[in-house]
Structure 1
């Protein structure tokens, strides 16, 4: 089996798209917080019950860009998927694949995956949705790029970030880096992969916006910024407006999951 849907190696290059963009961090099923953040950014969101879809109106020529990990751990992954799929269908959003989205996709196409790290909640939540919806989710997840290049190459969005010399490259290795970030190949005492801090040495011209590893505060480092502020772990859901570099966030309504990894702090002040 080597169908296009199963390869999923593509990146997406949209040099003519200049924004403004609202780049949104890891949602992880936090549907209410996502709606609150979008409304704060002046998106209008209405649910059409007959069509079972969200009708969204974006503020002045703005486009949302999701850094991936739409699902798992949080209270309502299916509606997060529906809202993001509807926004993409309406031409109002782009989305890259996160490692959690990729794992859900592999499960939906019948691969053997371990149902843990919050996937068990998504599976449970999807039980009340019909096969048409599940098929739509599968098709959507199969179409997600592993990184997106925007604004004449000035902006790159990848779930776990990506070093400059790999921007625009399509290999299995690049895809793995976009989904999981670089690791040492070793695990810590909790059995978690030891991650390498690729952003510490980044010296590329393109701004790279990413998530994957929760941080207390988004902090610019060498033209990169991690905007995963751990909403599902009781943190916040954050958006970066590009090119203005404005950060907007909403507090999580609850702590839906316990973080196995501590949030990263780049500064020692509180």
Structure 2
């Protein structure tokens, strides 16, 4: 097991705005960024390609930028531009990885919103799809920031795996603590890892939608189900303030998660 400088970034001290699962909801993302004080940059076609904060804050995305929502390409264009400009960090989510595999030509099952993402991306140039593929494949699976005080992982991460680059750490960060079984709705059975978390680092994550972002020990899930008609949530660090905006509509219906909202 090794530690990677791509994962462990003690020099990144913030302040940060950590944003939950976007899932292709560009309209809500733009509204949230503007609420947080970011200034949007648009290209000649009036498409958002960057967002910078006048006070030097940096956005951090917990993964699952793509799938289910109406504008996966728009979300990718904006977040890629923000990362290129040094205005954002992004960790990989399970949906991001699966889309990358599909774009690479791997055999994957196009469900849970993947088919819609591929259809949306097919309307864009091959060059844009290649850029998106390179971006998604290069995403770290988790980040350790601010001298180890803050950990960002899509599905969360126990203390023993903070900063570790291994198959176990990657699997946990992408999918959570699963039993390997699926429930009656076809969803993986996940264990509530945060209930046993006792680490000193704050862990911010997403993956499994909740109605409200609340603390469980020193961990908080920021996926508040925007694509299912909930909210898009940001956590301001180190201020420990929650900022959220309501979804414009229900973009994707799910038998389980949609019932939360």
3-state DSSP class of the match of 1:152?
Answer: helix
CA–CA distance in structure 2, aligned partners of residues 10 and 119 of structure 1? 31
Task: After TM superposition, give the deviation of residue 263 of structure 1 in Å.
Answer: 7.2
Q: Is the 8 A contact 2:50 2:79 kept in 1?
A: no
- Which of the numbers 190, 194, 201 marks the counterpart of 1:199? 194
CA–CA distance in structure 2, aligned partners of residues 155 and 113 of structure 1? 33
Instruction: Please tell me whether residue 242 in structure 1 is matched to residue 220 in structure 2.
Output: no
**Residues 12-66 of structure 1: CA distance to partner in whole angstroms, max 9, x if unpaired?**
1110111110000000000000000000001011311269762432130200000
Q: Is the 8 A contact 1:234 1:256 kept in 2?
A: yes
CA–CA distance in structure 2, aligned partners of residues 264 and 153 of structure 1? 36
> How does 1:68-107 map onto structure 2 within 5 Å?
68-107=63-102
Task: After TM superposition, give the deviation of residue 191 of structure 1 in Å.
Answer: 2.1
CA–CA distance in structure 2, aligned partners of residues 10 and 75 of structure 1? 35
Task: After TM superposition, give the deviation of residue 249 of structure 1 in Å.
Answer: 0.4
Task: After TM superposition, give the deviation of residue 70 of structure 1 in Å.
Answer: 0.3
CA–CA distance in structure 2, aligned partners of residues 44 and 238 of structure 1? 18
3-state DSSP class of the match of 2:215?
Answer: coil
> How does 1:55-134 map onto structure 2 within 5 Å?
55-134=50-129
Structure 1 regions of 5+ residues with no counterpart?
Answer: 1-8, 266-270
3-state DSSP class of the match of 2:81?
Answer: helix
Instruction: Report the counterpart of residue 143 of structure 2 in structure 1.
Output: 148
3-state DSSP class of the match of 2:49?
Answer: strand
Q: Is the 8 A contact 2:233 2:245 kept in 1?
A: yes
TM-score by length of 1: 0.91
**Residues 107-131 of structure 1: CA distance to partner in whole angstroms, max 9, x if unpaired?**
1111100001001110111111001
Instruction: Please tell me whether residue 189 in structure 1 is matched to residue 150 in structure 2.
Output: no
Instruction: Report the counterpart of residue 227 of structure 1 in structure 2.
Output: 222
3-state DSSP class of the match of 1:225?
Answer: strand
1:212–1:55 distance in 2 versus 1, CA, 3 Å: closer
Instruction: Please tell me whether residue 162 in structure 1 is matched to residue 144 in structure 2.
Output: no
TM-score by length of 2: 0.94
- Which of the numbers 246, 252, 256 marks the counterpart of 1:257? 252
Structure 2 regions of 5+ residues with no counterpart?
Answer: none
**Residues 145-178 of structure 1: CA distance to partner in whole angstroms, max 9, x if unpaired?**
0000000000000000000001011111211110
- Which of the numbers 19, 43, 59 marks the counterpart of 1:48? 43
Quote the RMSD (CA, aligned, Å): 1.9
CA–CA distance in structure 1, aligned partners of residues 239 and 58 of structure 2? 14
